[in-house]
Amino acid sequence: MNIYKIKKEYENIPLPENLNSIVEKSIEKGERVHWGKRKHTAMVRTFRAAAILAAAMFILLIIMSNTSREFVMAASKIPVLGQLVKIVTWQDYREENENSILNVRLPKLENANEDNLENRINNEIRVKINGVLEEAEKRAEEYKQAFLDTGGKEEDWYPMEINIDYEVKCNNDVILSFVIEKSESYASVYTEKYYYNIDLETGKDLKLSDILGPNYVERANEVIKESIEERVKNGETFFGYGTDDLEEWKFVTISDETKFYVNDKGQAVIVFDKYEIAPGYMGFVEFTIE
């Protein structure tokens, strides 16, 4: 369920037309139970004031949920049933060998309402990162062999550094979004990022359409193009803009494969890899779709 669905459900909460009558009957019932036929006392007045205050707070809740997107997002972070799904560090270690230096910090899910979700994500992370580490170790071995084959000396070789870490972007009772980053450092730095966006109510992976709605392509394209033009004016460089002749690399549209995460405000943040739409020194380029 996304933020728009949450808001819709709040909007559909009916406000009783006979709210005043309900409050008065509750007061009368309370008076009969606790005080019988006695006249109003200070305690009765306190009870009446509390009932009126509760009704006022209920009305305020309806009004706020219908008018404030920030309120709805804040409310979505309040745990209603059980604990929030937690993402904790599963492995944290440093390992060195003659070819490489590994610095690894990996996450895992806990307290998922569905065991299938917890097992699926944790196993997916384990399999993915094991494969990534095997490939990185193989590259480190190949780099060393190439170094030696081209005249390098064993004592002059220094291991390739491989770093894996993660960052939680959003974690409430509706959405869990986090990123695992892997980098390899030798003559240069090579970085990859893996994005996990999970609907905690259904256990399914979130799509951009779940966050932005059915017209997500047009909506995202408009924001990205406007942002690129503004950033170019401020001195940033993007392929196909200004004096750059790489017209075929100019941003045109997102696709179903476009990477993204969800920030702590419930907004989709679209991410482009290095060299995808801009020079490498720009790094990973992000656009927040509000």
Instruction: State residue 162's pLDDT score.
Output: 96
Q: Of 192 and 40, which is predicted with more confidence?
A: 192
The pLDDT tens digits for 138-167 are 999 999 999 999 999 999 999 999 999 999
Q: What whole-number distance in Å separates Cα of residue 18 and Cα of residue 23?
A: 9
Instruction: Give how far the C-alpha of residue 10 lies from the chain's centroid of Cα atoms, to the nearest Å.
Output: 22
Instruction: State residue 273's pLDDT score.
Output: 96
Predicted TM-score (pTM) of the model is 0.69
Domain extent listing, the chain: 3-76, 86-199, 211-289
Per-residue pLDDT band at 17 (split at 50, 70, 90): low
Which one is the CATH code of 86-199: 3.30.70.270, 3.40.50.300, 3.30.565.40, 3.30.420.40?
3.30.565.40
Place of tokens 């490939």: 135
Instruction: State residue 47's pLDDT score.
Output: 43
Q: What is the mean pLDDT of residues 17-25?
A: 52
Number of H helices and number of E strands within the chain?
Answer: 7, 8
Amino acid letter for position 279: P
Task: Tell me the sheet residues that pair with 89.
Answer: 107
Tell me which CATH homologous superfamily contains domain 211-289. Heat-shock cognate protein, ATPase (3.90.640.20)
